[in-house]
């Protein structure tokens, strides 16, 4: 029978960590990279906020890499971050063997939300200086992330009106019972003041919910009215040319809230949103634009809109504010959810080439259609940006460029949800959620920048190896050539065909 030998298990012999935290991790590690990036950032807005009184605070140069590395590796909760400073060698390295408590971590994150979001551009600037960020073609898309609220805690307008009438009727009944309290016996468990207060508080909540629903309905009506007027104007322009407009006549929007319009009582700023495969969820619509060459997120924002149709212009506004720092994109890719004539014109006026799909292409096209030559480019002063975009998307070059969208922005959301594990916001409110989305995108960018650095290191190592091999081959070839030359000289010397001086040199060399 074969005997197996195993390594011994010894949990009693004392052992010690290295003397310095620098020896905790290998030279090439994500935690080291995050710390080095934070050292390059301008932390003056953080340090200047401290007055220097009271107990000693945790330095921003420690708290920021703790948050960045946590979000890059899927540790988001302040309690889990505190626990990781004890359990994880990488977190111990970042915190220099210190252990910030979860309350300090959470307070720092809430206090400096705006300042942390402003570091987004500084990190991209580092990527640009390292020549990782090129800002050529960008891909824009959005995804739904669940809010920290249940969709079952939503109050519809119809039910709010019904509940308001019910509560008011109960208040009137309680007041009548209070008038008769001296003459009639009331139930022992009934406290009229408490019941009145409870219903008044609920009426206040219902009134606030109704006011919010009505405000949203008015905002929606104004937006739909503007779209309706734009469609009518466009159809009238087509009729003036003598052509018949396609499609049905647009319907005028109806003012006022609908019965199914609702507001969430837990997080009023979140919205009920449709998702593919899972019906409806209480969520926020997060947007991101990715550089197709490097995979880095160059623009991000959060919206309460349930679709992406109006999100091109907000993305362009953010990109315009960052143009001096990271540059300007040459082209923008987006799917059919972003298509509108206004969006195409906005991208064209911005100075980029729009590639926004107008409709979904059918799969498995006929053979001749797949290999047909490109049509000539439309010319003339009256050619619109929309017509040029339609032509580009039908060319082989345009289709190949648009195909980059699926392999750039969609994997970004997949990594954030599946690999990093961020599927639900931990906080409430649009402002707080926007700051959280910035932090998550910064964690993603740092992780991507680290992988780009590893690729550069691998390329440099391969180049160094090639140079070493080339030097060895050159040295071997040169020595072989010298040997052959000496041998030829010796042969000639023996045959008496060269001078005595050359023979003397050959003898010396040999």
Same domain, 431 and 309: yes
Write down which residue in 433, 449, 465 finishes a domain.
449
What pLDDT does 113 receive?
Answer: 93
Answer whether residue 346 is part of any domain: yes
| Angle between helices 341-350 and 312-321 in degrees, nearest 10 | 10
Each residue's pLDDT tens digit, 262-317: 888 889 899 988 887 768 889 999 999 999 999 999 999 999 998 888 899 999 99
Same domain, 364 and 307: yes
Helices (H) and strands (E) in the chain, counts: 18, 8
Same domain, 445 and 299: yes
Strand partners, 54: none
Same domain, 37 and 64: yes
Same domain, 58 and 98: yes
Answer whether residue 425 is part of any domain: yes
Answer whether residue 67 is part of any domain: yes
| pLDDT tier for residue 507 given thresholds of 50, 70 and 90 | low
Same domain, 87 and 216: no
Write down which residue in 198, 216, 240 finishes a domain.
240
Answer whether residue 323 is part of any domain: yes
What pLDDT does 73 receive?
Answer: 94
What pLDDT does 341 receive?
Answer: 87
What pLDDT does 16 receive?
Answer: 67
Q: Indicate whether 494 pLDDT > 70.
A: no
H or E segment to which residue 331 belongs: strand 331-334
Same domain, 319 and 173: no
What pLDDT does 461 receive?
Answer: 78
Same domain, 333 and 216: no
Same domain, 415 and 402: yes
Answer whether residue 44 is part of any domain: yes
Give residue 389's domain range.
137-149+272-449
Q: Indicate whether 349 pLDDT > 50.
A: yes
Each residue's pLDDT tens digit, 111-146: 999 999 999 999 999 999 999 998 889 999 999 999
SS3 at position 332? strand
Q: Residue 85: name the closest of 75, 97, 67, 73 by CA.
A: 97
Answer whether residue 124 is part of any domain: no
What is the average pLDDT across 2-8?
A: 68
Each residue's pLDDT tens digit, 364-422: 777 667 777 778 888 877 888 888 998 888 888 888 899 888 889 999 999 999 999 99
Please state, for a pLDDT cut of 70, what percent of the chain lies above it.
Answer: 90
Answer whether residue 128 is part of any domain: no
Q: Indicate whether 509 pLDDT > 50.
A: no
| Number of independent structural domains in the chain | 3
Whole-model pTM above 0.85? no
What pLDDT does 503 receive?
Answer: 54
Q: Indicate whether 500 pLDDT > 60.
A: no
Each residue's pLDDT tens digit, 207-260: 888 888 888 888 888 888 888 888 888 888 888 888 888 778 888 888 888 888
The enclosing domain of 308 has a CATH number of 3.30.420
What pLDDT does 241 receive?
Answer: 83
| pLDDT tier for residue 510 given thresholds of 50, 70 and 90 | very low
Distance CA 74, CA 417 (A): 10
Distance CA 219, CA 261 (A): 13
Joined together, the tokens standing for residue 303 give 């919206």
Same domain, 103 and 190: no
Q: Residue 300: name the closest of 447, 129, 120 by CA.
A: 120
Same domain, 142 and 50: no
Write down which residue in 449, 474, 492 finishes a domain.
449
Decide: 353 and 334 in contact? Cβ < 8 Å: no
Decide: 291 and 407 in contact? Cβ < 8 Å: no
Answer whether residue 500 is part of any domain: no
Terminal-residue alpha carbon distance, the chain? 64
Task: Please state the φ and ψ torsions of residue 5, each to the nearest 5 degrees.
Answer: -115, 135
What is the average pLDDT across 38-43?
A: 93
Distance CA 86, CA 2 (A): 42
Same domain, 290 and 405: yes
Scan for tokens 């390292």, then name that residue.
130
Decide: 72 and 446 in contact? Cβ < 8 Å: yes
What pLDDT does 221 receive?
Answer: 87
């Amino acid at each position: 029978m074969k005997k197996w030998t195993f390594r011994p298990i010894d949990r009693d012999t004392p052992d010690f960590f290295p003397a310095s935290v620098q020896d905790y991790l290998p030279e090439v590690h994500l935690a080291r990279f995050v710390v080095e990036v934070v050292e390059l950032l301008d932390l003056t807005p953080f340090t200047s906020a401290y007055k220097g009184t009271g107990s000693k605070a945790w330095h921003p140069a420690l708290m920021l890499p703790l948050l960045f590395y946590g979000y890059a590796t899927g540790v988001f909760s302040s309690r889990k971050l505190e626990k990781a400073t004890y359990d994880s060698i990488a977190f111990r390295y970042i915190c220099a063997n210190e252990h910030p408590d979860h309350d300090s971590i959470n307070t720092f994150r809430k206090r400096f939300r705006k300042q942390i979001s402003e570091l987004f551009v500084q990190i991209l600037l580092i990527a640009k200086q390292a020549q990782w960020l090129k800002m050529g073609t960008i891909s824009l898309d959005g995804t739904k992330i669940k809010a920290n609220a249940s969709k079952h805690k939503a109050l519809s307008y119809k039910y709010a009106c019904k509940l308001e009438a019910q509560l008011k009727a109960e208040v009137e009944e309680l007041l009548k019972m209070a008038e008769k309290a001296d003459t009639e016996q009331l139930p022992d468990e009934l406290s009229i003041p408490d019941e009145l207060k409870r219903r008044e508080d609920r009426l206040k909540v219902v009134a606030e919910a109704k006011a919010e629903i009505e405000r949203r309905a008015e905002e929606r009506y104004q937006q739909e009215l503007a779209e309706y007027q734009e469609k009518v104007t466009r159809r009238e322009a087509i009729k003036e040319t003598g052509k018949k407009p396609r499609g049905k006549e647009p319907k005028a929007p109806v003012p006022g809230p609908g019965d199914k319009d609702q507001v969430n009582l837990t997080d009023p700023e979140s919205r009920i949103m449709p998702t593919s495969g899972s019906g409806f969820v209480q969520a926020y619509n997060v947007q991101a634009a990715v550089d197709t060459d490097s995979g880095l997120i160059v623009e991000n924002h959060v919206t309460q809109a349930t679709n992406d149709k109006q999100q091109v212009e907000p993305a362009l506004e953010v990109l315009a504010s960052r143009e001096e720092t990271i540059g300007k994109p040459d082209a923008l890719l987006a799917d059919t959810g972003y298509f509108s004539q206004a969006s195409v014109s906005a991208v064209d006026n911005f100075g980029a080439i729009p590639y926004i799909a107008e409709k979904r292409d059918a799969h498995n096209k006929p053979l001749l259609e797949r290999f047909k030559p490109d049509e000539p480019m439309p010319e003339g002063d009256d050619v619109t940006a929309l017509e040029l975009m339609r032509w580009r998307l039908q060319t082989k070059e345009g289709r190949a460029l648009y195909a980059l969208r699926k392999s750039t922005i969609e994997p970004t959301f997949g990594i954030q949800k599946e690999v990093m594990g961020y599927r639900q916001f931990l906080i409430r409110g649009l402002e707080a959620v926007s700051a959280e989305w910035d932090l998550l995108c910064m964690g993603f960018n740092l992780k991507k920048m680290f992988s780009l650095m590893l690729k550069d290191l691998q390329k440099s190592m391969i180049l160094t190896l090639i140079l070493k091999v080339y030097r060895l081959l050159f040295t071997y070839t040169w020595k072989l050539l010298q040997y052959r030359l000496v041998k030829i000289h010796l042969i000639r010397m023996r045959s008496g065909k060269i001078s005595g001086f050359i023979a003397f040199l050959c003898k010396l060399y040999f």
